[in-house]
Amino acid sequence: MNDLEMEDLLSKSLDEPLSADESARLDAAMAQSAELREMARDLMAIKAVAAAGRPQAPPLSEQLLERVAATAPIKPGLRRYWAPMALAAAAALIFFLMPPQTPQDEDTLLQDQLYQAQAHAGQFRMDYHNRITAMEGLAVKHLSQLPAKQAISYSERLGFINRMIGNCEDAVDSAILRPETHAGLAEVYDAKVTLLDLILEA
């Protein structure tokens, strides 16, 4: 066996168990060569410190989220239709499950939310998530208080509401990631009215 093969074997022995034959050959070579023993000691020392010093990654930063927003791969078709409709669902749910407000109040509220979304993306997402969770709780409570014969239609409503809740979360992400969806605000209001009719007729 030449030196090159012995070096390979020595290096391999640092990472995995050798076969009985390989082990016997390496032992025999090391017994005869002080240089090989020294090499084994040095390579072990190098391997022992190689993995030292592994710092922890920073948490996901606002700066990265902003850069993500500029490069997020949202598909053109979805960008056009999906985000405004999902935002409409979010607004409809707020209207349906929260105390009544005047249209002017609603306009201000929605615009303020979108502004807040841009300004405080991370915090806003968390607040919105909590509100959506609270809405879901209200919807379930509402359903449980209904007479049994109305339960089926209200189950369907709950299913619909749950789908809308999913869309709400996507809408929030989309609004944060894609400020240009704000331009579709008028469409959002139109869609919201249609959606409210559907919910109230159910």
CA dihedral 132, 137, 143, 144 (to 10 degrees): 170
Q: Tell me the longest C-alpha to C-alpha distance in the chain.
A: 93
Q: Which is nearer to another protein, 55 or 103 (CB)?
A: 55
Regarding 149 and contact with another protein (CB under 8 A), the answer is no
Regarding 119 and contact with another protein (CB under 8 A), the answer is no
Q: Which is nearer to another protein, 4 or 148 (CB)?
A: 4
Interface residue with another protein, options 22, 106, 136, 169 (CB under 8 A): 169
Interface residue with another protein, options 91, 174, 184, 195 (CB under 8 A): 174
The minimum distance between CB 122 and another protein, in angstroms, equals 10
Q: Which is nearer to another protein, 31 or 70 (CB)?
A: 70
Regarding 12 and contact with another protein (CB under 8 A), the answer is yes
**Planar angle of CA 184, 188, 193, nearest 5 degrees:** 155
The minimum distance between CB 143 and another protein, in angstroms, equals 27
Regarding 104 and contact with another protein (CB under 8 A), the answer is no
Is the torsion defined by CA of 113, 115, 118, 122 positive or negative? negative
The minimum distance between CB 109 and another protein, in angstroms, equals 23
Alpha helices in the chain (DSSP H): 3-13, 20-32, 34-50, 62-71, 76-97, 103-119, 121-144, 151-177, 185-201
Within 35-94, the residues that bind another protein by CB under 8 A are: 39, 41-43, 45-58, 60-61, 63-65, 67-69, 71-75, 78-79
Regarding 177 and contact with another protein (CB under 8 A), the answer is yes
**Planar angle of CA 176, 74, 108, nearest 5 degrees:** 30
Closest CA to 199 of 171, 150, 158, 165: 158
DSSP code string of 104-118:
HHHHHHHHHHHHHHH
Residues in touch with another protein (CB under 8 A) = 7-8, 11-12, 14-15, 39, 41-43, 45-58, 60-61, 63-65, 67-69, 71-75, 78-79, 125, 169-170, 173-174, 176-178
